[in-house]
Amino acid sequence: MGQAKRKILSNKLFLERHKYCCLCGGSVYATTIEHAPPKVFFVNKEVPSATHRVPACERCNSGSSGSDQVAALSALIQSTIHQDIPETYMEKLVKGVQNNAPSAFAAIAEGSSTDVPIKVNGRVNMYARVEIDNSIYTDWLNPWAAKQAYALHYLHAEGKILPDTAKVMVRWFTNAQVIDEETPDDLLRSLRNYGELRQGKKTSELQYSYKWQLEGEVGCFVLMLHDASMLLLGIFQDSEKAKAFPHWNIFSTNARRGIHRVES
């Protein structure tokens, strides 16, 4: 069997086992497979193993290539660990953002970064301390992050789909905040489970890893992205509980609209 045919068959089998879109409340049939995180997130799209796959309907899976590219570019420009990011990949990514997310491109191009010395493992490295414009969060990164939360929940809750009553909360930490130790380290330490992508000895650790815990109706994921920035995702199935965090970016979903921002 050819590779293309095998892929079609494997997708078909996957959708037979995972019938409903996990991104819009669980009542719409899934017809596509969403990768979370998307392949574009990894340098040269080289993923240690196939990325996490979740079932999605056409609507929930479409139109996100712009935000996928913005999320990848934003994580990569904050990362100075990867001194070896091939320029051709960055150029391709920048071009993609320019085409698919022109407003994000303009904001990133105007953004500033300062080099600061940081000691890591006894060695002083220069880090680019990147400031990310607020509009990039509102328009691109926050909705992208919310989608990751729905997908990760599906993966780790044994295929249980978050209902439209659940609330998902999103908070990013830039590499500047990581450098200034404004990150939720106690929370990070307290989360029991660790996740990454793995294939043999290859792991996604430096590009993508997370700690997580799901406890009844509450869930938490903290993602470490390209070893530079962090993303905190909170999940409340009892939406009353989300009211305790009014200043967060809160999202919900339903069959009619898909994932969308809500007031607490």
Q: What's the min distance (Å) between Cβ of 235 and Zn ion?
A: 17
Give 57 or 75: the residue with its C-beta nearer to Zn ion: 57
Distance CA 241, CA 217 (A): 10
| Helical H segments across 217-261, by residue range | 239-242
CB of 260 to Zn ion, least distance (A): 12
Element (H, E) at 178: helix 175-179
Q: How far apart are the first and last CA of the chain?
A: 51
> Cβ of residue 146: shortest distance to Zn ion, in angstroms?
13
Token pair 């712009």 is at which residue?
66
What does each C-alpha distance from 150 to 2, 16, 260 come to in angstroms? 33, 20, 12
CB 165 within 8 A of CB 26: no
Which residue's CB is nearer to Zn ion, number 24 or number 146?
24
CB of 25 to Zn ion, least distance (A): 8
Report DSSP state, residue 261: E
Q: Which two tokens stand for residue 135?
A: 């509009």
| Among the listed residues 139, 162, 142, the one whose alpha carbon sits nearest the alpha carbon of residue 150 | 162
Q: Between residues 241 and 257, which has the closer beta carbon with respect to Zn ion?
A: 257
- Interface residues with Zn ion (CB under 5 A) are 21, 23-24, 28, 57, 60
Of residues 57 and 72, the one with the C-beta less far from Zn ion: 57
Nearer to Zn ion, 20 or 42 (CB): 20
CB of 258 to Zn ion, least distance (A): 6
The distance of closest approach from Cβ of residue 21 to Zn ion in the complex, given in angstroms and rounded to an integer, is: 3
Nearer of residues 57 and 166 to Zn ion, judged by Cβ: 57
Rounded CA-CA distance 148/69 in Å is 14
Q: Which two tokens stand for residue 76?
A: 């990569």
Q: Is 130 helix (H, G, I), strand (E, B) or coil?
A: strand
